[in-house]
Structure 1
Amino acid sequence: MKRSLHLPMLALTFALTACSGADLLNSLVPGDGYHVIRDLRYGDGPRRTLDLYVPEGAAPAAPTIVFFYGGGWESGSKDDFVFVGQAFASRGYVTAIPDYRVYPEARFPMFLEDAAAAVAWVRANTDQTRAAAGPVYLVGHSAGAHIAAMLTLDNTWLAEVGNKVCEAIVATAGLAGPYDFLPLRSATLKDIFGSESSRPQTQPINHVDGTAPPMLLITGTADTTVLPRNSARLAARIRNSGGIAEERSYDGIGHIELVASLAVPLHSLAPALDDIDRFFRRHPVGGSSCRGSG
């Protein structure tokens, strides 16, 4: 997909790679049309809290997104993603953005355990969230897309908190996700994902059986951080197994630009927000696209 960019937009996008970039972007998103409930605790410990973005006038059973940010499984903060919460709230979604434990405090599968606990908390606390008392949508970027995919494809993590995938998740969208990234070359990643013999179980692609909720996998052709082949391979595996997977690829879009395009000032970079919204609306809560028993 081709797009034209104005120089100020490019400058703003590249600013996201700096420490102050998220603050700059968040300062430019609209502050009306939603309200934020901060630091809701879904578990013990300082990183097991979430922020909730509630659209103004949200119905008691509004559709709900849980968004997992990236950061290489070793960094990140929900405070940096106001622009994501606002973007989805503007489309009518109650949006939860949890923090989760990261390296070196956490190694696989601790961040998956936190993510599952956050999903379970959102589903169990509809009185606070105004969310629908049913399954939620998952969205993730980069390492967060890996987390979202693992919750979607492997029932282990939601089962540990008393949930089942097909009861908890309607559909999932992954942006620039690492789904098939062995062998590991980084010493940090080797430490995060454990012994070589156990690493295949850390890969979303190895948990595909064709029964999981529908997935939308989005990439940019200019992404050199997480190669687009991760999404292509996962989508092919899902479809070949009888499941539902759609792909979107945006010409010339890089790793940071992809998530940045969710922000109001940068919507023209790529239609990620529109594509996610359309995909989710084609798979409404109460639909029957998920064929698994787990």
Structure 2
Amino acid sequence: MAVPTSPVGFFPVEQPTTSTQDTRSTDAVDSLRSRTSSTSTIPGGGTRRRNIDSGKSEKSSPSLCRSQSFGREIGHAACETYLITRLAFTLLRYLGVGRRWISRLLALGLYAMLLMPGFLQVLYQYLFSSQIRRSVVYGDQPRNRLDLYLPKKIDSPKPVIIFVTGGAWIIGYKGWGSLLGFQLAEREIIVTCIDYRNFPQGTISDMVDDVSRGISFVCNNIADYGGDPNRIYLMGQSAGAHISSCALLKQAVKESKGESTSWSVSQIKAYFGLSGGYNLTNLVDHFDRRGLYRSIFLSIMEGDESLHQFSPEILIEDPSAKNAVPLLPHIVLFHGTGDFSIPPDASITFVDALKRAGARAELILYDGKTHTDLFVQDALRGGKEELFDYIVDYLHAGDTEALANDAMAPPRKRLCPEPLLKLAGLVSPF
């Protein structure tokens, strides 16, 4: 039975249906760029980016500028807190009193407490590091913001990862990618973490549109931040892997039909999907048993009849997508065999479908790893780690200088004691 797309308590969201709205979004981006940066010529024919606010007048006090910037961030945080609180009450009306989701929430709280020593270090760096550009506006919809993690030294164009965080389509937030962002920035890779509307502020169509708009902004503007427009990679984790794969496939279908687009699939050199779900029809009952109730999940996905539309595994084998397949970049999926939140079969069957359709795809399974091991616990553990090293080696392939620097790079710093990491793994709700 179909679930209404706008049940009681749902906040209506604007749907970008006209070219006028796209124009407003482009104007907003152009305005942002004109306010934040300009270029000047330096000897030797190069260019130098400078902040206009800092170059307006040397009379401006640096402490005053920092105070004003901090004040703006506090104001933005207050607005977001109010919005999140309001939406949380709406979400609670959806969930009702249910043992499964309440037990998961309590387990999540305990999980976060055990990993707090590492989380606090990452939070401090997120708030005060000069290597991050927080909340860059990429569109005119709510939460159309992204964070940029920049290497300390940008003496040449750097490879770029566009990262889409997970969060069960409900609690996704760009800040969840901060640990990955800082660690990859240490290897001279620029990371952009895209924020997008969550349920109940938006449904899956809004999420896919937001992510596509964020990808467009990065593809068209990353050179201004020292990124290499010819080396852009897309990566998603969990729900973010599902949303980003939908955005990528939707874009390829548009291009195959000759429709006008603001970015091209050819600009994405590879796609990395981490612990994602790609066939929603196979996951509805599984999520229901784990506390993401069928009624809520179908509301997020805009009804039972839309599950096929937002299932990349099904879409890739649809005859209408035949001409889109050759446009897709190399696709690499990662999954832990101990993942109970989204079973590894979700990646296995998607890779099989991609190969049958003629796409370039491969799967890397990690024995015994859970849904969060690859993304959270292993990253907090520091040292060498297969997934991290694979991504770095992939992005630096062919760059002998970068590979040499990687070989001499110190091991990643441990951020959390091992006993706490093991306990967190035992109580993890994922």
TM-score, normalised via structure 1 length: 0.81
Q: Deviations over 1:160-190 (max 9, x none)?
A: 7512212x31101111000113152421110
Residue number in structure 2 paired with 1:291: none
On the 8 A contact 1:65/1:96 being kept in 2, the answer is: yes
Counterpart residue identity of residue 233, structure 1: T
Alpha-carbon distance in 2 for matches of 1:84, 1:227: 23
* Greater per-residue helix proportion: 2
Aligned-residue identity in percent:
26
Which protein has greater RCO, CA pairs closer than 8 Å, 6+ apart? Answer: 1
For residues 107 and 18 of structure 1, do their structure 2 counterparts lie closer, same or farther at Cα, with a shift above 3 Å needed?
same
Alpha-carbon distance in 2 for matches of 1:22, 1:36: 23
What SS does the aligned partner of 2:262 have? Answer: coil
On the 8 A contact 2:209/2:247 being kept in 1, the answer is: no
Alpha-carbon distance in 1 for matches of 2:271, 2:242: 11
Select the residue among 299, 305, 330 that pairs with 1:197.
Answer: 305
Select the residue among 361, 369, 379 that pairs with 1:253.
Answer: 369
Counterpart residue identity of residue 235, structure 2: V
Select the residue among 345, 350, 353 that pairs with 1:237.
Answer: 353
On the 8 A contact 1:123/1:136 being kept in 2, the answer is: yes
RMSD: 2.9
Q: How far is 1:250 from its partner?
A: 1.0
Matches within 5 A, 1:180-219: 180-183=279-282, 184-185=284-285, 186-208=294-316, 209=322, 210-211=325-326, 212-219=328-335
What SS does the aligned partner of 2:308 have? Answer: helix
Residue number in structure 1 paired with 2:7: none
On the 8 A contact 2:163/2:177 being kept in 1, the answer is: no
For residues 16 and 56 of structure 1, do their structure 2 counterparts lie closer, same or farther at Cα, with a shift above 3 Å needed?
farther
Q: Deviations over 1:230-259 (max 9, x none)?
A: 100111111222221111111111001121
For residues 135 and 148 of structure 1, do their structure 2 counterparts lie closer, same or farther at Cα, with a shift above 3 Å needed?
farther
Does 1:162 pair with 2:262?
yes
Larger Rg: 2
Counterpart residue identity of residue 239, structure 1: K
Does 1:121 pair with 2:237?
no
Alpha-carbon distance in 1 for matches of 2:184, 2:144: 22
Q: Deviations over 1:122-142 (max 9, x none)?
A: 122235421113352011110
For residues 28 and 157 of structure 1, do their structure 2 counterparts lie closer, same or farther at Cα, with a shift above 3 Å needed?
farther
Residue number in structure 2 paired with 1:173: 272
Q: How far is 1:148 from its partner?
A: 2.0
Q: Deviations over 1:2-41 (max 9, x none)?
A: xxxxxxxxxxxx9897345676434446969971111100
On the 8 A contact 1:193/1:199 being kept in 2, the answer is: yes
Counterpart residue identity of residue 82, structure 1: S
Alpha-carbon distance in 1 for matches of 2:379, 2:151: 16
Question: What stretches of structure 2 of length at least 5 have no aligned partner?
Answer: 1-106, 286-293, 317-321, 400-430
What SS does the aligned partner of 1:132 have? Answer: strand
Residue number in structure 1 paired with 2:159: 63
Matches within 5 A, 1:45-60: 45-60=141-156
On the 8 A contact 2:157/2:223 being kept in 1, the answer is: no
Select the residue among 184, 190, 195 that pairs with 1:94.
Answer: 190
On the 8 A contact 2:219/2:263 being kept in 1, the answer is: no
Residue number in structure 2 paired with 1:137: 233
Deviating more after overlay: 145-154 vs 247-256: 145-154
On the 8 A contact 1:221/1:249 being kept in 2, the answer is: yes
Alpha-carbon distance in 1 for matches of 2:220, 2:114: 34
On the 8 A contact 2:248/2:265 being kept in 1, the answer is: yes
Q: Deviations over 1:90-137 (max 9, x none)?
A: 222110011110100110211111111111111222354211133520
